[in-house]
Amino acid sequence: MTATEVLVTRSQAKPPRAKRIPRAKTPHKGAIAVFTGPFGILFLLFYLVPIGYAIWQSLLVVQRDGLYGEPTEVFGGLTQYIQVFQNAPFWESVGRVLLFGVVQVPVMLGLALLFALLLDSPALKGKRFFRLAFFAPYAVPGVIAAIMWGFLYSPNLSPFTGLTNAVDFLSPEMILWSIANVVTWVFVGYNMLIIYSALLAIPAEVYEAARLDGAGQIRIAWSIKIPMVAPAIILTAVFSIIGTLQLLAEPQVFRSFSTAVNSSFTPNMTIYATSAVPNPYLAAAFSVVLALATCVLSFAFLKLTQRKAEQ
Amino acid sequence: MSLLTRTRGATATDLPSTRGPRESIMSRTAALLIMGVFTLYFLVPIWWLFIASTKDRGQLLTTNALWFADWNLFANIGDLVSYNNGIYFRWLLNSLAYAGLGALLATVFAGMAGYALGKYRFRGREAFFNIVLGGVLVPATALALPLFLLFSQVNLTNTFWSVLLPSIVSPFGVYLARIYASSSVPDELIEAARLDGSGEVRTFFTVSSRLMAPALVTIFLFQFVSIWNNFFLPLIMLRSQDLFPVTYGLYTWNTQLNQIPELRTYVLVGAFLSIVPLIIAFLLLQRFWRNGLGNGSVK
């Protein structure tokens, strides 16, 4: 029995359903294609293909026939990755952003949580003003924020000369934390708003029982609010961890203000410097390693917090 | 101090608390103190930048950095706009074009894709959604170098397109649009439109997209900001300064401060001018931010 015969016999056997069977599977196929097509194609072209291409490039090496021969790309297996793992400045920069993240992310999210809880508590007046004031720095692009703070840290321009004379914010010891301050300044209000929206979504009845039991505001915040907004905090933490590993704009700007920031201060700066050499193959390998490290770290964090939540 | 707090509390426009008994003066003062100190931390740098943009070069270094000297803001802006054949103005327009056009297209595409994922059942739907979700976790900076390598293969680096095209993909937008579409566009409504003879695509653009408006505005804002702030992509793609967005342009000026000291005023005034419209837009549209953020993290 051939395929056409099956179709014919089937459609003859059940004439009314024959038309509906394929439609019931996926109705409006054309519309779905119209809806998902443009995004799908763009996602493929500008997300998946570049990633694939970078992986491919990272597996190539350049060979020359003699000193003046034409350079040719040949498959080099993991040659570039061996270079990556032997590159001490790159791993130093990875260590540097990890240290940055371990300190800056908890400080930033701690402040964001504190502000969100205060905004949500009946003890605070003028909520609207504080919400707007704290969120305003998020409108300042990282590059501009870094330029601004760079001037504020410079002893000859800063309005806080007492402070800048006492502490050299642009010294090799301080520069990482000066950058951390810029990032914190920009993003605290944004994270505060995410946590605050989660707090607003908690139904009022939840508090009633606690209040009848005589729990105070601090007790309610600690035992009810924080556990209930934990998913929002985890979300902000994951995005902050990803952002930390990708640090680029702020330290790149600080190179103009301080000699303490070199061209391989963060992993992304190493990638940029390597691609400018130009050594696209090694830069691609750096990119792949950094992307994998980012994935592993954010997944590890998610798993860890999930396991804690289950306990 | 407590007297001051009480008077302020009494005149505040906020509604009295609906969530419980009145708080003690102690805790109200503490809350106000913490928030007040941090208000200074968040606003003083912006205030300083504003003051600095109103001063000429000499007074910038010699007068009180947090208060006005002679009012030179408009003279400074005039100098800035005419410097180097008005390149600053060109950068502003470039930024607007990259961010405005990019965010608009990204919103349309993400809205349509998210709507299809939320309101239709089709094979491969979950696989499609999961791949897109993976894309949310891939930061824009991680893609800059791969995109550069790819664009240089087709000789598209250092073009308007090399910054615009990658910006019109918003996986986060698809995620948000899907969540919002499935909760706010009723099936009955789509069914009713179908009975009225409206095609699926037409239903989306005339009916469903209106119901999804809050989510779509949020997607637009997020994408606008992320394009406006994107630094790595222009840094690695662009060579001719005619194509620079304003952030990258100011960055290049800032790197030349040691050779050309008069650029300092231009950097400060330029930085201030570039953030003013953004801050105003942010504050006006804050309602949408909160709605969108709430939907993204809670629902």
What's the pLDDT at A305? 83
Whether residue B49 contacts residue B270, with contact meaning beta carbons closer than 8 Å, is answered with: no
Q: How far is A278 from chain B (nearest CA, A)?
A: 11
CA angle B150, B151, B157 (to 5 degrees): 150
* Complex prediction ipTM: 0.84
Beta-carbon count within 10 A of B96 CB: 15
Q: Specify the CATH class of B82-297 in words.
A: mainly alpha
Residue A201 lies in a domain: yes
Q: What is the mean pLDDT of residues B51-75?
A: 86
* Residues B48, A147: C-beta atoms closer than 8 Å: no
Instruction: Name the A residues in 177-196 with CB < 8 Å from any B CB.
Output: 185, 188-189, 193-194, 196
* Residues A47, B145: C-beta atoms closer than 8 Å: no
Closest residue to B247, CB basis, from A50, A144, A188: A144
What's the pLDDT at A223? 85
Residue A12 lies in a domain: no
Ranges A113-117, A151-155, B20-24, most confident: A113-117
Cβ neighbours of A47 in B, within 8 Å: 135, 138, 143, 169, 171
* Residues B271, A252: C-beta atoms closer than 8 Å: no
As to burial, measured by CB atoms within 10 angstroms (0-12 exposed, 13-18 middle, 19+ buried), residue B294 is buried
* Residues A139, B275: C-beta atoms closer than 8 Å: yes
Cβ neighbours of A157 in B, within 8 Å: 52, 60-61, 65
Beta-carbon count within 10 A of B262 CB: 10
* Residues B235, A272: C-beta atoms closer than 8 Å: yes
Q: CATH 1.10.3720.10 residue ranges in chain B?
A: 82-297
- Among residues A29, A50, A80, which one ends one of the domains? A80
d(CA B200, CA B269): 50
Q: Which residues pair with A61 in a beta bridge?
A: A74
In the structure, what pLDDT confidence band is assigned to residue A311 with cuts at 50, 70 and 90? low
Of the two residues B111 and B10, the one the predictor is more confident about is B111
The answer, yes or no, to whether residue A71 has pLDDT greater than 60, is yes
Q: How far is A104 from chain B (nearest CA, A)?
A: 17
Share of chain A above pLDDT 90, in %: 47
Beta-carbon count within 10 A of B144 CB: 27
Burial A160-189 (b: 16+ CB within 10 A, else e): beeebeeebbbeeebbbebbbbbbbbbbbb
The answer, yes or no, to whether residue B289 has pLDDT greater than 80, is no
The pLDDT tens digits of the residues spanning B95-112 come to 999 999 999 999 999 999
The model's pTM is: 0.85
d(CA A192, CA A28): 42
Cβ neighbours of B34 in A, within 8 Å: 114, 118
Could you tell me if A177 and A194 lie in one domain? yes
Distance of CA B240 to the CA centre of its chain: 25
Cβ neighbours of A114 in B, within 8 Å: 34
The pLDDT tens digits of the residues spanning A10-43 come to 444 444 444 444 445 678 888 899 999 999 999 9
**Which two structure tokens, joined as six digits, stand for A274?**
């390597």
Could you tell me if A265 and A147 lie in one domain? yes
* Nearby residues of A203 by Cβ (< 8 Å), 6 or more positions away: none
B25 touches chain A (CB under 8 A): no
The answer, yes or no, to whether residue A98 has pLDDT greater than 90, is yes
Residue with tokens 């005619």: B242
In the structure, what pLDDT confidence band is assigned to residue B293 with cuts at 50, 70 and 90? low
The pLDDT tens digits of the residues spanning A218-252 come to 888 888 899 889 988 998 998 898 889 999 999 99
The answer, yes or no, to whether residue B286 has pLDDT greater than 60, is yes
Residue of A nearest to B16 (CA): A122
Number of domains in chain A: 2
Could you tell me if A201 and A182 lie in one domain? yes
DSSP string, chain A: --HHHHHHHHHHHSHHHHTHHHHHHSTTHHHHHHHHHHHHHHHIIIIIHHHHHHHHHHTEEEEESTTTSPEEEEE-TTHHHHHHHH-HHHHHHHHHHHHHHHHHHHHHHHHHHHHHHHHHSTT-S-HHHHHHHHHGGGGS-HHHHHHHHHHHHSTTT-S-HHHHHHS-TTSTTTHHHHHHHHHHHHHHHHHHHHHHHHHHTS-THHHHHHHHTT--HHHHIIIIIHHHTHHHHHHHHHHHHHHHHT--HHHHHHTTT-TT--TTSSHHHHHHHHHHTT-HHHHHHHHHHHHHHHHHHHHHHHHHHHHHHH-
Q: B158 — phi, psi (to 5°)?
A: 60, 40
Could you tell me if A65 and A112 lie in one domain? no
The pLDDT tens digits of the residues spanning B196-216 come to 988 889 999 988 999 998 889
Could you tell me if A36 and A163 lie in one domain? no
When the pLDDT of each residue in chain B is averaged and rounded to a whole number, the result is 85
Could you tell me if A75 and A174 lie in one domain? no
The answer, yes or no, to whether residue B37 has pLDDT greater than 90, is yes
The pLDDT tens digits of the residues spanning B115-174 come to 999 999 988 899 999 999 888 877 777 889 999 999 999 999 999 999 999 999 999 999
- Among residues A32, A55, A80, which one ends one of the domains? A80
Could you tell me if A76 and A93 lie in one domain? no
* Nearby residues of A207 by Cβ (< 8 Å), 6 or more positions away: A220, A224, B19, B20
What's the pLDDT at A86? 92
Closest residue to B143, CB basis, from A42, A47, A157: A47
The pLDDT tens digits of the residues spanning A251-286 come to 999 999 999 999 999 999 999 999 988 889 999 999
Residue A73 lies in a domain: yes
Question: Which of B178, B231, B255 to mutate to probe the A interface, most A CBs <10 Å?
Answer: B231
Q: How far is B141 from chain A (nearest CA, A)?
A: 6
Residue A238 lies in a domain: yes
Q: Is the dihedral of CA B247, A100, A294, B113 positive or negative?
A: negative
Question: Which CATH number fits the domain that encloses residue A293?
Answer: 1.10.3720.10
Ranges A3-12, B1-10, B18-27, B263-272, most confident: B263-272
Of the two residues A194 and A64, the one the predictor is more confident about is A194
Cβ neighbours of B4 in A, within 8 Å: none
Residue of B nearest to A282 (CA): B145
What's the pLDDT at B51? 92
* Residues B48, A185: C-beta atoms closer than 8 Å: no
What's the pLDDT at A309? 67
Cβ neighbours of B20 in A, within 8 Å: 122, 207, 211, 217
Could you tell me if A156 and A265 lie in one domain? yes
When the pLDDT of each residue in chain A is averaged and rounded to a whole number, the result is 86
Closest residue to B283, CB basis, from A132, A204, A298: A132
Could you tell me if A89 and A42 lie in one domain? no
- Among residues A80, A96, A116, which one ends one of the domains? A80
Q: How far is A244 from chain B (nearest CA, A)?
A: 11
DSSP string, B128-184: HHHHHHHHHTS-HHHHHHHHHHHHHHTT-TTSHHHHHHHHT--HHHHHHHHHHHHHH
d(CA B68, CA B50): 9
- How do the residues of chain B divide into helix, strand and coil, expressed in percent and rounded to 5? 75, 0, 25
Instruction: Name the A residues in 61-100 with CB < 8 Å from any B CB.
Output: none
* Residues A40, B123: C-beta atoms closer than 8 Å: no
Could you tell me if A68 and A155 lie in one domain? no
Could you tell me if A49 and A76 lie in one domain? yes
Closest residue to B298, CB basis, from A123, A201, A211: A201
Domain interval for residue A62: 21-80
Residue with tokens 């070199």: A262
B78 touches chain A (CB under 8 A): no
Q: What is the mean pLDDT of residues A190-205?
A: 88
d(CA B210, CA A298): 35
A56 touches chain B (CB under 8 A): no
What's the pLDDT at A112? 96
* Residues B236, A131: C-beta atoms closer than 8 Å: no
What's the pLDDT at A3? 41
What's the pLDDT at B262? 85
Residue A176 lies in a domain: yes
Q: What is the mean pLDDT of residues B214-234?
A: 90
Could you tell me if A46 and A89 lie in one domain? no
Residue of B nearest to A193 (CA): B290
Residue A15 lies in a domain: no
Cβ neighbours of A148 in B, within 8 Å: 45-46, 48-49, 271
Type of residue at B68: F
Cβ neighbours of A45 in B, within 8 Å: 165
Cβ neighbours of B267 in A, within 8 Å: 147
Distances (CA, A) of B74 to A144, A148, B55, B62: 21, 20, 10, 20
End-to-end CA distance of chain B: 42
B26 touches chain A (CB under 8 A): no
Q: What is the mean pLDDT of residues A124-139?
A: 89
Question: Which of B42, B60, B62, B190 to mutate to probe the A interface, most A CBs <10 Å?
Answer: B42
Residue A4 lies in a domain: no
B243 touches chain A (CB under 8 A): no
Cβ neighbours of A132 in B, within 8 Å: 283, 286
